[in-house]
Amino acid sequence: MTEQAANEDKKSRTEEFKVDGGELINKVKELLHEGNIRRIILKDEQGKTFLEVPLTVGIVGVALVPVLAALGTIAALVSKMTIVVEKAGD
């Protein structure tokens, strides 16, 4: 691991949220609105990674449409998900 990558790991933190499929899109929108998110990882009930979305500082509006469409499809297929959010440290 490079020194820069090690420093970035120290500056980030993760949070987990368990949601039902119908709540998935609303929770992701809420989290995106809060800001400081580097990555969103969706896991199924068994803990397997379903989708991993890296986010950059400049991602806004139209760029999120395909991500939200994918989340809508996933929400229709899965009853419970865990959202793992990697946030930039303060």
Q: Does the pLDDT of residue 21 top 50, yes or no?
A: yes
pLDDT at position 10, please?
A: 60
Domain definitions of the chain by residue range: 3-88
pTM above 0.75, yes or no: no
CB 83 within 8 A of CB 49: no
- Tokens 């939200």, residue located: 68
Q: Does the pLDDT of residue 89 top 90, yes or no?
A: no
Residues 6+ apart with CB under 8 A from 52: 39, 40, 41, 42
pLDDT at position 57, please?
A: 53
